[in-house]
């Protein structure tokens, strides 16, 4: 049996919209992107949503907004040491310095007890990542941020459908950045989106995604309807060539938005299936808890069913890589559970951290993996996965 890590559901409506966009010749950011933004914002209880070209760009642009509010290049942003490398890359691409904080091994998220020790006079924001859809402790993070006058930007790349203490992930921070990559619950194939309740932030995000230009209306009449723009020469010069800030080229296109509109329509069915798969796998892995661990869903939260993490425990008589090799040979696709960015990713070596500085993140980097829980998996796949796990453990612990 083959158990692929990810899948994508492209609806008939998406295909119809793609055809209409291609026939019209208007495939850059336009009316479908705006429709997707409006529906995504409604979906996550946000007032504004700004679509961009990737989840990484969503992080980058959300951080870059802070320059309009006093931040300086080289200022610091606190992030977890363990995350997909895009989290750390985004901080650097936005012109800030990442300040890493170790994680809690049980939740895989930033250890909130260590955050205040990392705050300095140059700290401008905290960017927690809800890893594997497990919500970070946002009430505590918000309390620290308020005390220290810091912004909170949620890296919600993997957290579609996650809920913490009655609020959706993304509702807690000043902004939230989502990935819409093809293996995610809501997808535009590639793409990302930033949500916020602050109109000013959304205006700046729209400027940033298009080179920092002064055009930042929530609906661009030129892009959506090819109509006359009364604001174009408001300042005596074509507003499209007035650049107010250092920006990026990060727009979403109409074809991606068409896929996203169909994905939103399928959301309820997809998340129901994925949550069933995730919670079933969590329950069935308990049989092997002598050697393997995973996240748990606490009573005050809902884990967004992004994927199923597995951690090989210290006392296990086998390595993560040996386990992964066995699963791969038996058709079960896996991914490592990322790395300690500051000490296990060579690109960050110049920051001067050394192995041992982030022991929990490093442990997960050496011993963690994750497998898919997507909507095309059924009970037969879960049975097969657990049977293969049992066969492996039986063979290696005789």
Domain CATH code at residue 284 = 3.90.1150.10
pLDDT range class, residue 220, cuts 50, 70, 90: low
**Domains of the chain: total:** 2
Task: Give the residue numbers spanning the domain of 156.
Answer: 12-265
Q: Write the CB contacts of 143 (distance below 8 Å, at least 6 apart in sequence).
A: none
Q: Are residues 18 and 120 in the same domain?
A: yes
Looking at 265, 291, 323, which one is the last position of a domain?
Answer: 265
Write out pLDDT tens, residues 14-71.
999 999 999 999 899 899 999 999 999 999 999 999 999 999 999 999 999 999 999 9
- Determine which of 9-13, 239-243, 260-264, 374-378 has the lowest per-residue pLDDT on average: 239-243
Q: Are residues 193 and 206 in the same domain?
A: yes
Per-residue pLDDT, averaged over 81-99, amounts to 98
Per-residue pLDDT, averaged over 160-180, amounts to 98
Q: Are residues 16 and 159 in the same domain?
A: yes
Does residue 2 lie within any of the structural domains? no
Of 237 and 289, the one with more pLDDT: 289
- The CATH number of whichever domain residue 92 belongs to comes to 3.40.640.10
Residue 227 scores a pLDDT above 70? no
Does residue 382 lie within any of the structural domains? yes
Between CA 10 and CA 298 the distance in angstroms is 32
Residue 366 scores a pLDDT above 70? yes
Q: Are residues 241 and 195 in the same domain?
A: yes
Q: Are residues 252 and 368 in the same domain?
A: no
Per-residue pLDDT, averaged over 328-336, amounts to 98
Does residue 6 lie within any of the structural domains? no
pLDDT range class, residue 232, cuts 50, 70, 90: confident
Per-residue pLDDT, averaged over 203-222, amounts to 84
Question: What confidence score (pLDDT) does residue 97 get?
Answer: 98
> In the chain, where do the E strands start and end?
48-52, 76-80, 82-83, 97-101, 123-126, 151-155, 163-164, 167-168, 175-179, 192-196, 292-293, 301-302, 308-312, 335-336, 339-340, 368-371
Looking at 209, 232, 265, which one is the last position of a domain?
Answer: 265
Chain mean pLDDT for the chain: 95
Per-residue pLDDT, averaged over 349-373, amounts to 98
Does residue 149 lie within any of the structural domains? yes
Q: Are residues 376 and 231 in the same domain?
A: no
Question: What confidence score (pLDDT) does residue 242 get?
Answer: 85
Between CA 291 and CA 267 the distance in angstroms is 35
Q: Provide the whole-model pTM.
A: 0.94
Write out pLDDT tens, residues 245-255.
999 999 999 99
Question: What confidence score (pLDDT) does residue 234 get?
Answer: 72
Does residue 292 lie within any of the structural domains? yes
Tell the burial category of 396 from Cβ atoms under 10 Å away from its Cβ (0-12, 13-18, 19+).
middle
Of 163 and 183, the one with more pLDDT: 163
């Amino acid at each position: 049996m083959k158990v692929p890590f990810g899948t994508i559901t492209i609806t008939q409506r998406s295909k119809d919209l793609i055809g209409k966009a291609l026939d019209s010749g208007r495939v850059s950011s336009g009316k479908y992107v705006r429709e997707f933004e409006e529906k995504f914002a409604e979906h996550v209880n946000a007032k504004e949503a700004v679509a961009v070209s990737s989840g990484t760009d969503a992080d980058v642009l959300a951080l870059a907004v802070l320059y309009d509010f006093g931040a300086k290049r080289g200022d610091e942003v606190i992030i977890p040491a363990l995350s997909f490398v895009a989290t750390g890359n985004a901080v650097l691409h936005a012109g800030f310095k990442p300040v890493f904080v170790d994680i809690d091994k049980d939740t895989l998220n930033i250890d909130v007890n260590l955050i205040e020790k990392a705050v300095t006079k140059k700290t401008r924001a905290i960017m927690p990542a809800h890893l594997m859809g497990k919500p970070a402790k946002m009430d505590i993070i918000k309390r620290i941020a308020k005390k220290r006058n810091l912004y909170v930007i949620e890296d919600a790349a993997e957290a579609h459908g996650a809920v913490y203490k009655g609020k959706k992930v993304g509702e807690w921070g000043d902004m939230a950045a989502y990935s819409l990559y093809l293996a995610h619950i809501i997808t535009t194939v590639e793409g990302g989106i930033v949500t916020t309740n602050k109109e000013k932030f959304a205006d700046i995000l729209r400027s940033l995604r298009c080179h920092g230009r002064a055009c930042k209306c929530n609906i661009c009449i030129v892009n959506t309807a090819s109509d006359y723009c009364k604001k174009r020469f408001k300042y005596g010069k074509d507003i499209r060539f007035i650049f107010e800030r250092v920006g990026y080229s990060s727009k979403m296109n109409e074809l991606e938005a068409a896929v996203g509109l169909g994905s939103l329509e399928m959301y309820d069915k997809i998340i129901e299936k994925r949550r069933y798969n995730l919670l079933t796998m969590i329950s069935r892995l308990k049989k092997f808890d002598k050697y393997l661990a995973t996240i748990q869903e606490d009573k005050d939260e809902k884990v967004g069913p992004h994927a199923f993490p597995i951690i090989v425990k210290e006392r296990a008589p086998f390595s993560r890589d040996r386990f992964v090799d066995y699963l791969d040979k038996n058709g079960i696709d896996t991914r490592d559970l990322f790395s300690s960015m500051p000490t296990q990713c060579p690109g960050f070596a110049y920051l001067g951290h050394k192995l041992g500085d982030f022991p929990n993140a490093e442990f997960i980097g050496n011993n963690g993996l994750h497998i898919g829980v997507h909507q095309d998996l059924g009970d037969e796949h879960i049975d097969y996965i657990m049977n293969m796990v049992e066969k492996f453990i039986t063979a290696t612990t005789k």
